[in-house]
Structure 1
Amino acid sequence: MRRKRSTPWIHRWSRPLMAGIASIGAVVTAYLTYSKLAGNEAACPTGGCDIVLSSPYATVFGQPLALFGFLAYVSMIVFAIAPLLVRSPEQKGLREKLDTWTGLLLFMGATAMMIFSGYLMYLLTAEIKAICVYCVGSAILSTSLFVLAIIGRDWQEVGQLFFTGIIVAVVVLVGTLGVYANINNPSLAEQSASETAGPPITTTSGEAELALATHLQQIGAKMYGAFWCPHCHDQKQLFGQEAFSKIDYVECSPNGQGSPPATACIERGIQGYPTWEIKGQLLQSGTQSLETLANTSGYSGPRNFSNTLPGL
């Protein structure tokens, strides 16, 4: 009698492992999606997260990129657990079919996610020049899903699997380049000044805002930011149009208006936007209340500021 060949442990546990990994990714991307839609800063041990998550690359078709990541992880969870939910012996045939088809879908999905994450890693190092732990973590999760998708089952047609992976990789890479074509297009340098200066400042400046701006100008304070940064726009709104025109503002985005000084942002070690430099010291990145700027800079003028934002 032939001894029945035992099933490798990785084949038995690959789907639960993939479901667990995808669940971690789903929770993280759900949090990032909420933070983006709510306009909140994501908790991050490094300042680079704010730069990355506020960049043009973090929005696709008008929606947060994290939302599409969430949908991808949820899909992987469904593919991973679908055959496991069929427990009845009478439905053995259905379970085998689900196992075969979802196994291929898991491989295709993991391949797509790994390729896209790889491109994001390229953007972090070559274009955005900042590190986001969430993006790096997602790349690790995607790679783990890809490895488990391959070793987690006994593939009969390795050549066909390899061919399928190549097709998926090419489609994802071409699609990604197409989605980000406008951002990477050199013609951005020829965009109108209004487009590269960010949204217009719609608030007016009171006497206190003008006085604070004049004081910051006199002591050589600087604000480092990017035209696409929503927190930078909030900071401008606090000052108002007239007062902010007095602020020494340094544009850090290569595509932004006044971009040549962007090297100053790198040399100064700017990790998030906006970042204020007052008396040679860098404040923690993020929108600062006018009271905070007044206290930090030693301002002694009127403080009846007329412009406010929730939470500041």
Structure 2
Amino acid sequence: MDIALQQVEYSYAKGTPFEKRALYEVNAVIPSNSYTAIIGHTGSGKSTLLLHLNGLLKPTEGEVRIGDLTITSETKGKALKDVRKHVGIVFQFPEHQLFEETVEKDIMFGPMNFGVPEEEARRRALELIELLGLPSDVSQKSPFELSGGQMRRVAIAGVLAFKPSILILDEPTAGLDPRGRKEIMELFARLHKEEGLTTILVTHSMEDAARYADQIIVMHEGRSVLSGTPEEVFAEEELLSSFRLGLPRSVAFQRDVEKLIGKPLGGIALTEEQLSASIAAALKEEGGQ
């Protein structure tokens, strides 16, 4: 299900003395089944933009199209619920979304809220407990008895349980250590492929954007200012710097190596693995001369 934003503008507290413009004429296309990263410095409009993608916010001007569904400033009621059937959001610290007395009930809440029968919702909950690598005996435990990492997986299961075709991740690794961050991001990458999801990652991590995304949208001061593949976006080093954004560590290190050896290594190394391969190839070429 494709997503298209056309001339989307949004103002908080519109028409009051406290009115503040957050988005300006944002245009973007997110193809079905793609993995898109939205990056930008704090206050660039990333979080405001993502809230438009399931109708938690409605554009002051312009429109958001999700497949055949359209959200404008006039959209109400059932139309917004129809959008939310297709779009799941994993917020920062998703464990804060937990509230039921058992893990099973917490995961079942979303699908039952959209009319899924209780037994089917229970079946989905048990499947997701296994899919997300949780112990089989957690279903009847309180989610608040679990470790932080397990609580986060339960919250993610609750989003996946109503089978969204679009999954939005708002800084999903916030507060995790490096190992936990890698585990969660690899989990989302696997779900993206296995479930055929359209995945949208809002992140401050240039490394995650480079490693996982098919395309990147750059936000700056409420505007979409740059988009393209990771290779295209991270090739615009001076432009990114003007938006107060850096490069992935692998690309920054690549530039240091290129200065040291006095020649380019080839294409942009978006990951440490690509950088290692590029350096090995350059050394082999140097040794063969």
**Could you tell me the TM-score, scaled by structure 1's length?**
0.23
Higher strand share: 2
Larger Rg: 1
**Could you tell me the TM-score, scaled by structure 2's length?**
0.24
